[in-house]
A = this chain, B = another copy of it.
Amino acid sequence: MTVNFGVVLVTAASEAEAENLAKSLVEHKLAACVSLSAIRSIYTWQGEIHAESEWQLVIKTDLAKFEALKTKVQELHSYEVPEIIAIPIIAGSDAYLNWLGKSLSL
């Protein structure tokens, strides 16, 4: 199976922001399905360690849409540099991948 489907990870500042991003991506056919969950994030920013509550988006999509998805997230996101990273899907049930493809076609 050529790698074209993928999972894109994005974090958001709040549940409301996460839901808004997810709904916009699904409405614009840039994601077939997005799952949301509460997380705590630990990272450095300007030399100091931060621990913040965030929301994780796990976005199932076709990576041919990655650039458009990235642009839409950056357009809507409250952060200057939001996390937007893609992981390959290398196998899947045919029925699910067909559904994924259909959900993304205009």
Binding site for B on A (CB under 8 A): 3, 5-7, 9, 11, 19, 22-23, 26-27, 32-44, 49, 51, 54, 56, 58, 60, 63, 66, 70, 74, 80-93, 95-97, 99, 103
Closest Cβ of chain B: how far from A12's Cβ, in Å? Answer: 12
Residue in B3, B7, B43 whose CB lies within 8 Å of A34 = B43
Contacting pair A90 B88 (CB below 8 A):
yes
Q: Kindly report which residue of chain B lies nearest to residue A98, judged by CB atoms.
A: B81
Contacting pair A81 B56 (CB below 8 A):
no
Question: What copy number does this chain have within its complex?
Answer: 3
Q: Kindly report which residue of chain B lies nearest to residue A36, judged by CB atoms.
A: B40
Q: Kindly report which residue of chain B lies nearest to residue A63, judged by CB atoms.
A: B91
Pick from A23, A26, A43 the residue with the most CB of B within 10 Å: A43
B residues in contact with A88, CB < 8 Å: 87-88, 90
Q: Kindly report which residue of chain B lies nearest to residue A74, judged by CB atoms.
A: B93
Q: Kindly report which residue of chain B lies nearest to residue A73, judged by CB atoms.
A: B93
25 contacts between A and B (CB under 8 A): A6-B90, A7-B9, A7-B87, A22-B42, A23-B51, A26-B42, A26-B43, A33-B41, A34-B42, A35-B41, A35-B42, A35-B56, A36-B40, A37-B39, A37-B40, A39-B58, A63-B90, A70-B93, A74-B93, A81-B95, A82-B93, A84-B92, A84-B96, A86-B91, A88-B88
